[in-house]
Amino acid sequence: MKNNKFFALTLFISSFFVLSSCSSDDDNEETTIPPNPSSFTITSKDITNTDFTIDWTAATIAGNEGVEYDIYLDDTLVASDLEVLTYTFSNLNDETTYDAKVIAKSIEFGTTSTQVIDVTTSALPIPSGFNLTSKDITITDFTIDWTAATIEGTDGVVYDVYLDDALVASDLEVVTYTFSNLNAETTYDAKVIAKSNAFETTSTQIIDVTTLAMPIPSAFDITSKDITITDFTIDWTAATIEGTDGVVYDVYLDGALVASDLEVVTYTFSNLNAETTYEAKVIAKSNAFETTSTQLIEVTTQAAPAPNDFTLTLESNGTNSANISWSSLTIDGPGGVLADIYINNNEEATGITSSGYVFTGLTPNTAYTVKITARSTAYGTTLDKEITFTTASLPTTFEVTSATLYPRTTGTFASAPSMIIRFTDRDLLDDIILNGTTYTSYFFAGSDGITISISDAEYDALSNATTKEGTANFTENEQSSSKTFTYTVN
């Protein structure tokens, strides 16, 4: 396009001289137009990121003086009056398009001819791609290797290494790197940047590497033995683990730590409750990695023995006291047996070591139930035995001295059938029972007797009874009692 513009300008100037010559009235002779250098061809070569060279063919012109050349870069004159047909531009920017212009100048006539070419410098060299691999992966370390990156020139490549975007090594000339002190079972982002020493361009490769999980102590077997009422022992097989630091053990009973950092594979639990299920737990711990493996076992202690059977005997029984004895209290096992004593469900005494007990302050003519609880001092187990007795009645002065059944009478002194009963102490009397009928209403008969009125039917039943008996209920010394008596028929 620039060549076309220049050509148009040359044509315009030439036309102007021709027209001026033709229109001159003073000079009819034809004026000669100075010739321009001929058109020429321009090419580029040897293009780098900072340099390129242009060559052009020689422009020709009539006359003897020839042609010389001016060189422009982006309209800036960089060389003039050249007689050669080549020029090299240096110290340029990479990846930049430049406008290179050559003006051929007639030395004799001062006319010109121009050619322009656009040239783009090349990009900076980039380190070649390379392969990144991992190896020697452990719990806390891994190594990465990579193939060497290459680049144009002789200055070569160095490497920066990142772990999770944090720079950990720079300007390495080797093609390997080991990461240390990492977390177990963690994925890391390892990045290597190849850097050109000459051009500062880079090429990057990334690899994800996951460290190994920490070793866990192996599973092991746990068993129980020597189970008693208060103790048992557990044994377990040894747990194993990678490395040389080995394993120790913590022991728990029902979730409570009872022993730690054991190096043996046995433990005995003591002072336990009888007939109780316990959960024994063993945790194998890695000394190096603090990882663990756990085993559980349930163990039930034996039942505690109860006191042996024994017998109770009522040795004596009075109106307000009683003497109870029992056979020897024994148990199959350690410790002794004590007696706890209850009367009518009330605690009387505990922890008795003797084989008998005397109860006092009892009520005459009263039923009592005595319970003896044999209790093991070692296990707290018990065995109960009971005996029932009635205290003796107090001596009484109440007696029925006579009882006579009388028929109905007629005439002047007519009366209903009746029974007259006499007592040693009439004031103690509560009621009379005759042939199943209780009589509480009666008349006094003299100072020591009573008269009970009955019907004719009752008289007939009483007079015809095979056994002519009655019952007198009375209270003496605040104690209720009764006396059976016989009656006669008048």
Q: What is the pLDDT of residues 331-347, one digit of tens each?
A: 998 889 999 999 999 99
Residue 16's pLDDT is 38
Q: What percent of the chain has pLDDT over 90?
A: 81
- As a whole-number percent, the residues of the chain with pLDDT over 70 amount to 94
**pLDDT above 90: residue 163:** yes
**What is the per-residue pLDDT across 174-184, written as a single tens digit (0 to 9) for each?**
999 999 999 99
Q: How many other C-beta atoms lie within 10 A of the C-beta of residue 408?
A: 13
- Per residue in 206-220, pLDDT (tens digit) is 999 999 999 999 999
Q: What pLDDT is attached to residue 30?
A: 63
pLDDT tier for residue 29 given thresholds of 50, 70 and 90: low
Distance CA(404)–CA(419), nearest Å, equals 5
DSSP string across 196-219:
ETTT--EEEEEEEEEPPPPP-PPP
What secondary structure letter does DSSP report for 230?
S
Q: What is the pTM of this model?
A: 0.50
Tell me, what's the pLDDT at 21? 41
- What average pLDDT score do residues 108-112 get? 93
Return the pLDDT at 219: 96
Return the ∠ at Cα 297 (arms to 294 and 300), rounded to 5°: 155
**284, 208 Cβ separation under 8 angstroms:** no
Q: Is residue 356's pLDDT more than 70?
A: yes
Residue 28 has a pLDDT of 47
Amino acid at site 2:
K
Q: How confident is the model at residue 153 (pLDDT cuts 50, 70, 90)?
A: confident
- The encoded tokens of residue 13 equal 């100037």
> Count of residues for the chain?
490
How do strand 488-489 and strand 400-406 relate by DSSP bridges?
parallel
Q: What is the mean pLDDT of residues 143-153?
A: 94
Q: Residue 26 — pLDDT band, cuts 50, 70, 90? A: very low
| Element (DSSP H or E) covering residue 144 | strand 142-146
Asked whether the predicted pLDDT for residue 13 surpasses 60, the reply is no
User: If you count DSSP H runs as helices and E runs as strands, how many of each does the chain have, helices first?
Assistant: 2, 37
Q: What is the mean pLDDT of residues 38-50?
A: 95
Does 289 score more than 90 pLDDT?
no
